[in-house]
Amino acid sequence: MAKMNFGGVIEEVMTREEFPLEKAREILKDETIAVIGYGVQGPGQACNLRDNGFNVIVGQRQGKTFEKAINDGWVPGETLFSIEEAADKASIVMWLLSDAAVMSVWPTLQKYLTPGKALYFSHGFAITWSDRTGCVPSKDIDVIMVAPKGSGTSLRTMFLEGRGLNSSYAVYNDATGKALDRTLALGIGIGSGYLFETTFQREATSDLTGERGSLMGAIQGLLLAQYEVLRENGHTPSEAFNETVEELTQSLMPLFAQKGMDWMYANCSTTAQRGALDWMGPFHDACKPVVEKLYASVKCGNEAQISIDANSKPDYRVGLEKELAALRESEMWRTAETVRQLRPENN
């Protein structure tokens, strides 16, 4: 483990220097890894493991996603099976299903989790709220997690670019004495940049908070609020969108992603610097109570229950598409379509 200083706090992280790919291959050389589910995380993790030289198979129900797996090079009867067959053949079962699917499939698949196997998750949801999900593994298997800090699409894209997406990891149950080695080897195998330790509970609460907060929910709310105020005060859609979204994503985000917010401020006009420094406080003060309320809702299990209830409805997908369509058809994101077309790389 490498000791790193994170803002004055020392943490231990695992990098590819301390845990090279060759070591990961050696640890898992006799293992058969089954990726169950080929939706969001499945393709990235499965393809990265395969490309890194591990023995990987995929378990997926028949349908469009099954055909996607075939198009990605998985061969029916050889490396692509039903979820039951794949779980039966594997010594490490990677459950990369949605949280709702984990709940529905658990009664079927748990009989294939025989002593000595490893059950792998990329999210702490099912275990953290097991009283609600019903997902209670037996004590005679390893229960482990590697949670990439991004989408499966990003994991795959960055892997193909020679980069890595950072991941957290955790061991919930070590039945074999080799759970940690299995976990770290899988983390390196899927293409993680570096790995930092967590628990299933901490991962689940931080992940749900982040998704509802700055990563997805809050950012859409903030962008829409600013766009609406500009439009209500006579600014055109193009001007409002460029000042709200386009400049943020295309110009400023790469700057503070590269070297920090202070560096981004330093590379903007003095007028922008002054305004940012003056207004970051009021935005912080307005937002923190909302984030505190959000975190409390996550920690007590309320957000998990909302997700379980919503995802369990038979018409959930229909309702979801309506909500996403409303976003897609809003003026701000219809404006985005035109702005994207006008980017230099598209002309």
Considering 48, 56, 106, 123, which one is annotated as catalytic? Answer: 123
Round to whole Å and give the CA distance between 188 and 177: 19
Top-level CATH class of 210-346? mainly alpha
Would you list the domain boundaries of the chain? 2-198, 210-346
Structural contact between residues 85 and 61, judged by C-beta atoms closer than 8 angstroms: no
The pLDDT value recorded for residue 6 is 84
Strand ranges inside the chain, DSSP E: 2-6, 9-15, 33-36, 56-59, 80-81, 92-95, 118-121, 142-148, 165-173, 192-197
The pLDDT value recorded for residue 175 is 98
Round to whole Å and give the CA distance between 255 and 165: 19
13 phi and psi angles, rounded to 5 deg: -130, 155
The pLDDT value recorded for residue 98 is 84
The pLDDT value recorded for residue 100 is 81
CA torsion sign for 304, 128, 292, 327 is negative
Round to whole Å and give the CA distance between 165 and 277: 31
CA torsion sign for 93, 98, 99, 103 is negative
Catalytic site residue 123?
yes
Find where tokens 């499945």 sit: 42
Tell me which DSSP letter residue 269 carries: -
Find where tokens 């940049």 sit: 193
User: Which residues in the chain come in under a pLDDT of 70?
Assistant: 347
- In CATH, the number for domain 2-198 is 3.40.50.720
